Amino acid sequence: MRLWLWGLALLVMAMVAVGGATRLTGSGLSITEWKPVTGAVPPLSEAAWTAEFEKYRASSQYRNLNQGMGLAEFKTIYWWEWSHRQLGRFLGLYFFLPLGWFRWRGMVSTPLALGLVGIGALGGLQAGIGWIMVASGLEPGMTAVAPLKLMLHLVVASTILALIVWVAAGLEPPRRQDGTGGIARAAKALVALVLLQVALGALVAGSHAGFTYNTWPLMDGRLFPETSALLAVKPWIENFVDNPLTVQFNHRLVAYAIVLAALWHAVAARGGEAAGRAGLLAGVALAQAALGITTLLLVVPLWAGLSHQLLAMLLLAVAVHHARRSALGAIG
């Protein structure tokens, strides 16, 4: 069961990676309908391809950004989006078929089975959220999906990954319990910080904030942007979604917080059972921060943007695994 769950976690990470590639290549609006079952079959004839292309040509994204795109180019972006949806279908089968077999063999207790079914239900909800996100980009005048809906889609995917890793880590053989409640609480706080950073990263992606202010550590020549610039959009609350300066600055601040907290946590955990896991978490956090800076300075090339998103999922998985094992071994 642990192997199945870790395989499931890898599939979720692959799903996020393909979704990131779909977004970065501008492919997410290429399929303008949601057909959970029949949509598994791609166009099989030139007539079918032409019909799909005509649906896309009616979208605002085509008219405003991709005017003049040929059928061959359309096929490229179509295959990205189709692959993302197809991987989601395969993930659902990979989840429910083995789970049914494990339950039939009596390998899963009722409480664990209910918890896993809940994760599966969240996966089904995620498919619906994905379509709501795509539909937001197909509204008249829209050329991309709404940032808040992109954020929701990525946060739910990250939550599913976190829950899977939490369950898988809980099934590992017990080790000596010499941890402390403080270490366990700090580990959980780091998980919350990473999830917050994932949400902020989605807003950066949704508002294309990574393509602006491509210097570090300064932003627009300053270490801390002026308040008037950070709150330039009215009403002020919309700056946290629609102001690229504010969105990127928030993402930077939480990145600093994660690195500092992870380093402090590694020092606090030294000498105990959790030391190795805390050290690994700090190392991945540092690597992710360095990759984020590189992605910004290079103005988000495809390879860097995808690597940054995938490493974020790895950081989340490491943080959740550490938190779960620390909770199991906590004393006091």
Q: DSSP string spanning 236-296?
A: GGGHHHH-HHHHHHHHHHHHHHHHHHHHHHHHHTTTSTTHHHHHHHHHHHHHHHHHHHHHH
- What pLDDT score was predicted for residue 181? 79
Supply the mean pLDDT for the chain: 94
Q: What is the pLDDT of residues 16-32, one digit of tens each?
A: 999 999 999 999 999 99
User: Strand, coil or helix: what is 86?
Assistant: helix
CA–CA distance, 245 with 212 (Å, rounded to integer): 8
Helix H or strand E encompassing 331: strand 330-331
In terms of Cα–Cα distance, which of 137, 148, 129, 144 is closest to 237? 148
Q: What is the mean pLDDT of residues 5-26?
A: 95
The full length of the chain comes to 332
User: Strand, coil or helix: what is 330?
Assistant: strand
CA–CA distance, 246 with 314 (Å, rounded to integer): 26
- What pLDDT score was predicted for residue 30? 95
In terms of Cα–Cα distance, which of 96, 66, 90, 82 is closest to 19? 82
CA–CA distance, 292 with 216 (Å, rounded to integer): 10
Q: What is the pLDDT of residues 229-279, one digit of tens each?
A: 999 999 999 999 999 999 999 999 999 999 999 999 999 999 888 999 999
Task: State both tokens at 233.
Answer: 């959009």
- What pLDDT score was predicted for residue 327? 87
In terms of Cα–Cα distance, which of 114, 196, 111, 190 is closest to 159? 196
DSSP 228: H
Q: What is the mean pLDDT of residues 97-107?
A: 92
- What pLDDT score was predicted for residue 81? 96
Cα 326 to the center of its chain, rounded Å: 24
- What pLDDT score was predicted for residue 179? 57
Cα distances (angstroms) measured from residue 307 to each of 188, 196, 251: 25, 19, 17
- What pLDDT score was predicted for residue 175? 66
- What pLDDT score was predicted for residue 298? 97
Half-sphere exposure of 55 (CA within 13 A, CB side): 15
**Residue 222, beta-bridge partner list:** 219
Residue entry with tokens 């949601």? 34
- What pLDDT score was predicted for residue 332? 43
CA–CA distance, 92 with 51 (Å, rounded to integer): 29
Q: What is the pLDDT of residues 180-235, one digit of tens each?
A: 678 999 999 999 999 999 999 999 999 999 999 999 999 989 999 999 999 999 99
Is the predicted pLDDT of residue 107 greater than 80, yes or no? yes
Dihedral sign for Cα atoms in the order 233, 239, 242, 245: positive
Q: What is the pLDDT of residues 110-160, one digit of tens each?
A: 999 999 999 999 999 999 999 999 999 999 999 899 999 999 999 999 999
> What is the 3-class SS of 162-179, one letter each residue?
HHHHHHHHHCCCCCCCCE
- What pLDDT score was predicted for residue 182? 87
Half-sphere exposure of 10 (CA within 13 A, CB side): 7
- What pLDDT score was predicted for residue 148? 96
The 10 Å Cβ neighbour count of residue 121 is 10
